[in-house]
Structure 1
């Protein structure tokens, strides 16, 4: 039986220690400012991207890896006798998924399995972590894919955006909404449902108050949350993420709380000082309750 190697794209924000531990392959997206294109995670990081936003005065665009990029990434693993399970960012948000399918058809049938995570950032990372653990236990790519096709619908992601600036620059919030949001100190919650990013509740007040409120709202349904692991993604919010981690571990019986760093692909939409939390539900989603 061939060993299974897990691949993901850079918007999954998979941390380097997971990459090293599970030999995860990452296919990067591109971050594009006007005519200049940067390879995500290799040629640019989130802090550098924020600096360029200040210089150019507008947000970058993200570009999907081409089929050729996927072929180049997949070929060494296939030649080494490994089967591949590629876990894509949501197919509703990018052509990344379709490009990976095109690339997979260039290899012998059955060697590459492609799964749409229907998620991004910490939500996609949760799919990748679950897959990597199963692959390390000797499970086949098809077994892992079929298991995740059900589990992915239970993986929730809530994103706390620090302010409306990036959503405004990206055309997702109008000028009046942006002005009122700034005056009222509104921080919106985004969530992922059926592979699409939607707007949820909007919290008001200080960052500390908002983070506590978000955690309280989520943990009020702790009996419906899987206790194995939670993933927190942060960008320029290391201390807050650590505080959230300690709060969850002290107040619940969750066994592991992982902290990962949000990369350029997701941060070009959410902006700096954003936080995201991903968890697995045991039953129907609770995002609509938040």
Structure 2
């Protein structure tokens, strides 16, 4: 018999096609509208091309959640052999994706498709998704996987710095006054996710100070770690530097490096850099 539990996520997990294939994860894409062309996130447009084009666009890209029908088709295909599906998604406060998946799941028998709002995004979404896929491959049944993931989610952390506030401002994620202040004072706000929403963590003066502060928080406040990920929006050198700064608290070879995809990058902007982790439950 094949695997009886299959894992689904959406493209805001920023998993590469290779990474998803490695773990047997199905990724449902959101879309990006750029210059009146619609692209499937991570399929029709990949991060390197997106970040190359982003500064040259005449208007801000827009993004859309997957339609209910796409989730229906995905769930039908995956359950056709009798398998159960666990579908983990971006915070419902940041996107309507969870709602689309939930509506699609209503057309299936109870317990056949379970949809979870992780309350996270980007690599902080990818970490529990990968954990669920590992559990499924090890033969765990759906109720145990679901409970394990729900128990894990409160132990996820995210801390990031945007290189510029321009995209957060244009995307309506912060007020104009905050963006203006950041530009004038060269402030680099550190952001986190609290209760499923983007929230300011604190301000630092420079990108260098931001990297040092992120590393300090991970080392002194997050405690022992199960998993660690570095996220970057087309800034691989800084991502590598940050990973090296954290090698004293987590094996360098096990750090998951994630490039922020087009949908999340529309709001985060190029050169955003951050860390996500799963803390050990103690």
Match of 2:218 in 1: 218
TM-score by length of 2: 0.91
Match of 1:186 in 2: 187
SS in 2 for 1:59: coil
The Cα shift of 1:52 comes to: 4.5
SS in 2 for 1:240: helix
Task: Report Cα offsets for 1:114-140 as digits up to 9, x if no partner.
Answer: 111110001101111111111111111
SS in 1 for 2:71: helix
Task: Report Cα offsets for 1:150-187 as digits up to 9, x if no partner.
Answer: 21111111121112111222233444443432232211
Preserved CA contact (<8 Å) 2:47 2:259: no
- Which consecutive residues of structure 2, in runs of 5 or more, have no partner in the other structure? none
The Cα shift of 1:13 comes to: 0.8
Query: Matched residues in 2 for 1:16 and 1:36: separation?
Result: 22
Match of 2:114 in 1: 113
Task: Report Cα offsets for 1:79-125 as digits up to 9, x if no partner.
Answer: 13322111111112222111111111223332211111110001101
Match of 1:288 in 2: none
Match of 1:277 in 2: 275
Task: Report Cα offsets for 1:196-255 as digits up to 9, x if no partner.
Answer: 1111211112x3332122211221125x232x3201111111111112222212x22457
Match of 1:209 in 2: 209
Match of 1:147 in 2: 148
TM-score by length of 1: 0.88
Task: Report Cα offsets for 1:21-72 as digits up to 9, x if no partner.
Answer: 2211000001124643221111122343345543443322211111101112
Q: Are 2:256 and 1:263 aligned?
A: no
* Higher mean C-alpha displacement, 73-82 vs 157-166: 73-82
Q: How does 1:33-52 map to 2 (within 5 A)?
A: 33=34, 35-52=36-53
Q: How does 1:122-133 map to 2 (within 5 A)?
A: 122-133=123-134
RMSD, aligned α-carbons: 2.2
Q: How does 1:44-83 map to 2 (within 5 A)?
A: 44-83=45-84
Count of aligned pairs: 280
- Which consecutive residues of structure 1, in runs of 5 or more, have no partner in the other structure? 285-290
Preserved CA contact (<8 Å) 1:162 1:272: yes
Query: Matched residues in 2 for 1:198 and 1:146: separation?
Result: 27
The Cα shift of 1:283 comes to: 6.2
Q: How does 1:238-253 map to 2 (within 5 A)?
A: 238-249=236-247, 251-253=248-250
Seen in structure 2, the aligned counterparts of structure 1 residues 154 and 36 have a Cα distance that, compared at 3 Å, is same
Query: Matched residues in 2 for 1:233 and 1:167: separation?
Result: 17
SS in 1 for 2:120: coil
Seen in structure 2, the aligned counterparts of structure 1 residues 221 and 84 have a Cα distance that, compared at 3 Å, is same
Match of 1:27 in 2: 28
Preserved CA contact (<8 Å) 1:189 1:203: yes
Query: Matched residues in 1 for 2:170 and 2:51: separation?
Result: 13
Query: Matched residues in 2 for 1:145 and 1:116: separation?
Result: 12
Seen in structure 2, the aligned counterparts of structure 1 residues 185 and 147 have a Cα distance that, compared at 3 Å, is same
